[in-house]
Chain A
């Protein structure tokens, strides 16, 4: 029964971790511009994320280490420092977007400019980490994130052409604007396999004290959790395709997000979008700040558990506090979250080889995993993800330049 509870926990973690403002914006841009044609990218990203999280969880359950710990042990402190620097740099780019996303939701609700919300939202984010246990972060934030399932309901109520939706699940060539099409495909997949997601997952498994008994449950948690995330991201794409596409509405500014669910749900759609955006972005901001702190603690050998009191692990608390402060400044000076999203996702794709590459070696090392080392299928998929990560790293920045 307890493991069944962890299964549902995996579902809500997947929903909370997957549907942030970056995923929402890219899915909506893809749907508005190319209809259902980029659904395959959301699904491919979900499959990649499920495989990576399953491996990160298996490493934690069997080896008793996070991905970050194992990479430091296997590749040395210098490589870990590089990984930490890269993840921290990307986190500091994405964190303002997520804090900004929560602020934008509050602007939609109140009419008060989003910059004014930056400090209260950052304080709320910090307070959750300062006062809350890991279970509170995991269950509390992620359970509320279930409201994002409204996108699935909205996609259903829009009565899309299901044969076209199914066709969108298979990769196809665009009939216009190919550079933008491939750029959006790259960043949808890149956003799904952002390193912070599986780094958070493995740290969470350690916090939850998983053992080798969790290997089977972990597989289900990763598959169902990330599957749910991909479903919601795909649903957002379908809704945007039906609501924005026929009207010729693109997504150039954050204010246009507020219109996304109106066709399907009327006035309720506006308020559900506000709540979904606020909750999902706040949850992701908390996750990202926590990942920065976990990586610093794991890299430098500091005590680092969300369940311990901040006074007993001041450096851990200092890192997430510093990350939140640094992430708040761009929002205060008025960064438009949507304008920064595509750039930050392109840079996230650049960092993927550094984070995903070493995982293959760790997951084949019996010292960590004993009999639970990767099988052939897992290795083939990780090699494919690494190849994809290299391709994304090479193509996203040129596509960003030529496609925007």
Chain B
């Protein structure tokens, strides 16, 4: 959260004008990564994908969401709720991070429990106007 706030502050100082189309693309990308993580988790609970693949895909999602947090913080300067958007994406990143740990420990209950919140987060990000 602190990192996201710092990103927002740094970007606010650096960039004067917001770009709505770029912000839309950042949000879509964040929603895509969150949806990917939810889908991987769901398929892992069904044993449709091996654990090592799920781990790789989720780590890529963590990286993608970190980048999205930075980009949203940069591109949402001057946009109402811009900071909340960055924090929401950072929240999704932390959920995926926890999911990687759950898969590392072969904790099927934690993996199954993360599917719903991730799907909800992806829907919220995707439908953000």
Give chain A's interface residues, CB within 8 Å of chain B.
107-108, 110-111, 247-250, 252-253, 255-256, 258-259, 262, 266-267, 269-270
Contacts and interface: CB of A to CB of B under 8 A. Distances in A.
Instruction: Report, nearest first, the 6 A-B pairs whose CB atoms are least far apart.
Output: A111-B52, A250-B32, A255-B57, A255-B60, A248-B126, A267-B48
Contact of B39 (A107, A110, A249): A249
Interface in B8-55: 28-29, 31-33, 35-36, 38-40, 43, 46-50, 52-53, 55
B48 A255 contact: no
Interface of B is mostly: helix
Given A255-B57, A259-B36, A248 B47 contact: no
A253 B64 contact: yes
Contacts of B4: none
B40 to A, nearest CB: 7
B49 A248 contact: no
Nearest to A274: B53
B62 to A, nearest CB: 11
B120 to A, nearest CB: 13
Interface of B: 28-29, 31-33, 35-36, 38-40, 43, 46-50, 52-53, 55-57, 60, 64, 122, 126
A111 B53 contact: yes
A108 B46 CA distance: 17
Contact of A248 (B32, B40, B60, B64): B32
A216 B8 CA distance: 66
A110 B55 CA distance: 12
Given A262-B43, A266-B48, A252 B56 contact: no
Nearest to A270: B49
A400 to B, nearest CB: 15
Contact of B29 (A250, A266, A270): A250
Contacts of B46: 266-267
Contacts of B60: 253, 255-256
Contacts, number: 63
Contact of B122 (A107, A247, A259, A267): A247
B56 A262 contact: no
A108 B56 CA distance: 9
A393 B64 CA distance: 31
B20 to A, nearest CB: 13
A110 B56 CA distance: 11
A258 B48 CA distance: 11
Interface centre among B35, B46, B47, by most chain A C-beta atoms within 10 angstroms, is: B35
A262 B47 CA distance: 11
Contacts of A262: 39, 43, 48-49
A165 B55 CA distance: 35
Contacts of A108: 53, 56
A107 B57 contact: no
A276 B60 CA distance: 22
Nearest to B43: A262
Contacts of A107: 56
B28 A250 contact: yes
A151 B52 CA distance: 24
Contacts of A248: 28, 31-32, 35, 122, 126
A270 B56 CA distance: 14
Contacts of B32: 248-250, 252
Contact of A110 (B35, B49, B52): B52
B33 A252 contact: yes
B35 A247 contact: yes
Contact of A258 (B28, B53, B122, B126): B53
